[in-house]
Amino acid sequence: MSDGPMLFDRLRADCGQDWTDYIDHAFVRGMGDGSLPRASFEHYLKQDYLFLIQFARAYALAVFKSPALAEMRANLQGLKAILDVEMDLHVRLCGEWGIAADELERLPEARATVAYTRFVLDAGQRGDLLDLAVTLSPCVIGYAEIGAKLAALPASGDSTYRVWIDEYSGAEYQELAESAKREIDRLGGLSLTEARYPRLLDLFRQATKLEADFWQMGLDLAD
């Protein structure tokens, strides 16, 4: 591969309108200006908790697929970020609305949740560490981009979504996302060829579309 943009940045650019549809979805805009219905956010948050359970399994798979200890440790950090930070945020917010953690775990998975998480796990099981990292990246890195974008907007006067925005715009999560970008670039340097790139772009695009579907589920209150 020749010198050029980081692999994630190339994937993001080549994803085009699908990426824009994800990061500028009506659900995202509603969080930014405070117009998102509370019921939509609650539905999203509950499903995202179930989503994170499966994503934790994807990071555990990444640990298993890692050929070196350094890679195992890096993916372990991603796993810990889900289990010890992101899921705690969901439990805390839902607890404020009277929804206990054990109740969250008993909720049924919505179709959008099943479609997205099983796609990621299947990509990881069939492919190598680069396939899995690319498939995870719209979520991991996209949330950092969305968080930073929303944090830069004027306060809406409705603080309902500020905790979520602060979490994903914060320095700790932003660094996690940057580390994920560097890791994708490193893995690409080891095994990426131009012949392989279309397959990676397809994985990235599908995951990005499934992210947009996940936002839409919140708006539709889908089961």
Report pLDDT for 163. 86
Report pLDDT for 81. 84
Mean pLDDT of the chain: 91
Domain count, the chain: 1
Distance separating alpha carbons of residues 24 and 107, to the nearest angstrom? 28
Residue 181, in any domain of the structure: yes
Note the Cα 58 to chain centre separation in Å: 12
Tell me the mean pLDDT in the region 152-165.
82
Rg (CA), the chain: 17
pLDDT higher than threshold 80 for residue 187: yes
Distance separating alpha carbons of residues 153 and 130, to the nearest angstrom? 34
Report pLDDT for 158. 67
Report pLDDT for 157. 65
Residues counted in the chain = 223
pLDDT higher than threshold 90 for residue 63: yes
Residue 166 sits in which domain range? 7-220
CATH number of residue 160's parent domain: 1.20.910.10
Q: N- to C-terminal Cα distance for the chain? A: 44
Tell me the mean pLDDT in the region 98-123.
91
Residue 1, in any domain of the structure: no
pLDDT higher than threshold 50 for residue 29: yes
Neighbours of 4 (CB within 10 A): 8
Amino acid 126 reads R
Residue 113, in any domain of the structure: yes
Residue 2, in any domain of the structure: no
Lowest mean pLDDT of 78-87, 143-152, 181-190, name the range. 78-87
Helix (H) or strand (E) holding 202: helix 197-220
Which sequence positions are flagged as catalytic? 139, 211
Residue 159, in any domain of the structure: yes
Residue 90, in any domain of the structure: yes
Distance separating alpha carbons of residues 90 and 92, to the nearest angstrom? 5
